[in-house]
Amino acid sequence: MLSTVLILACVVAPALSNDFLSGFTHEAIADPTHGRVNYVDQATALAQNLTYASGDTLILRADHTTVLSASGAGRNSVRLQSNKVYSNHVTVWNIRHMPQGCGTWPAVWEVGQDWPNQGEIDILEGVNDHGPDQATLHTNSGCTVGGTRTMTGTSTGDNCDVNATGNSGCGVTSTDASSYGPAFNAAGGGFYAMERSNSGVKVWLWLRNSGSIPNDVLNGGTSVDTDKWGTPLADFPSASCDMASHFGPHNIIINLTFCGDWAGAVFANDGCPGDCTTYVDENPSAFINAYFDVAWLKVYQ
């Protein structure tokens, strides 16, 4: 059983805005995934209502009003990184809505400063409204996750080494179409949780309407017992991947980019119209629903 060490957002309005925004930094950086995005700093995000809090609601979104110049910067959006780092821990995200729309590439993930040597854990990720969710590990060489795995998802590969897999790592896709995008939002969202321990990494998802959400997850308890959470969506055991040597201290990241290495590469295959960059530039109203609505995030250690 793990106890809460940090509540980054909660149902009390002052704690929502103060704790989350003071616990994270808006990274106004060039997108490492080469997206058609302009990540803005916190002052800009607040001024443009790309980041705002009200009651038990934290909104993180992209600009949805500006037609972009092809020769100018990408669409304004946000990338938040936690100020603190975590090794073995559990995170629980209470998310009502995730970004949707052609060209979108939202993600909730964790990563070490020395990538890929300190590893990366992708909890929630997908592109172009094309579900389901994919949870993925990215590491340096010597980390595989074969053998006995108890999970509801489907493995996309056992080798987590980014250099051996063209940066795809070792992923697990959900078998539930409602785990991502418009279907997730239509269900009222849900709870994503991740446990990192010496035994490996596990990721769970409970849709809000599932009726099977553990009480400690549903109520955002002061402690959690992952042994009682049932079969995870994704199981990455440590039998052939030593956690200590492949995963270092991680920052928590939530971001929304557009096009880039993944969403742009499969834009047409996902049924989206024309060219991804042109679509993002010329159709701001297509991104009215490109936002995260987070009720709270809790981290247990």
pLDDT tens by residue, 219-270: 999 999 999 999 999 999 999 999 999 999 999 999 999 999 999 999 999 9
Beta strands at 57-61 and 89-97: parallel, antiparallel or unpaired? unpaired
What is the spatial distance between Cα 19 and Cα 15, in angstroms, rounded to a whole number? 5
Residue 155 lies in a domain: no
Verify whether residue 195 is a known catalytic residue: no
Please determine, for residue 57, whether its predicted confidence score (pLDDT) is greater than 90.
Answer: no
Residue 65 lies in a domain: yes
Structural domain of 112: 2-137+174-226+250-300
Mean pLDDT of 23-46: 97
- pLDDT at position 56 is 80
Verify whether residue 27 is a known catalytic residue: no
What is the spatial distance between Cα 173 and Cα 152, in angstroms, rounded to a whole number? 9
Residue 156 lies in a domain: no
Closest CA to 170 of 153, 193, 191, 184: 153
CATH number of the domain to which 188 belongs: 2.60.120.200
Cβ of 132: how many Cβ atoms within 10 Å? 20
For the chain, counts of helices (H) and of strands (E)? 6, 19
Residue 295 lies in a domain: yes
Q: Is 182 helix (H, G, I), strand (E, B) or coil?
A: helix
User: At a CB cut-off of 8 Å and minimum separation 6, what does 232 contact?
Assistant: 150, 151, 152, 202, 203, 204
- For residue 167, give the amino acid letter: N
Please determine, for residue 13, whether its predicted confidence score (pLDDT) is greater than 70.
Answer: no
Place of tokens 């056992």: 158
Mean pLDDT of 99-115: 98
pLDDT tens by residue, 182-223: 999 999 999 999 999 999 999 999 999 999 999 999 999 999
- For residue 230, give the amino acid letter: G
DSSP code string of 200-231: EEEEEEEETTSS---HHHHTT-SEE-GGGS-S
Global pTM?
Answer: 0.94
Closest CA to 78 of 226, 256, 235, 230: 256
Cβ pair 111, 253 in contact under 8 A: yes
Q: What percent of the chain stands above pLDDT 70? A: 94
Among the listed residues 27, 125, 195, 282, the single catalytic one is 125
Place of tokens 């600009």: 63
Residue 97 lies in a domain: yes
Residue 63 lies in a domain: yes
- pLDDT at position 10 is 33
Q: Where are the alpha helices (DSSP H) in 24-168?
A: 42-47
User: At a CB cut-off of 8 Å and minimum separation 6, what does 104 contact?
Assistant: 62, 127, 128, 129, 256, 258, 263, 287, 290
Closest CA to 86 of 38, 115, 41, 121: 121
Residue 149 lies in a domain: no
CA dihedral 239, 245, 246, 252 (to 10 degrees): 110
Residue 14 lies in a domain: yes
Among the listed residues 27, 110, 120, 195, the single catalytic one is 120
What's the number of domains the chain is made of? Answer: 1
- For residue 276, give the amino acid letter: C
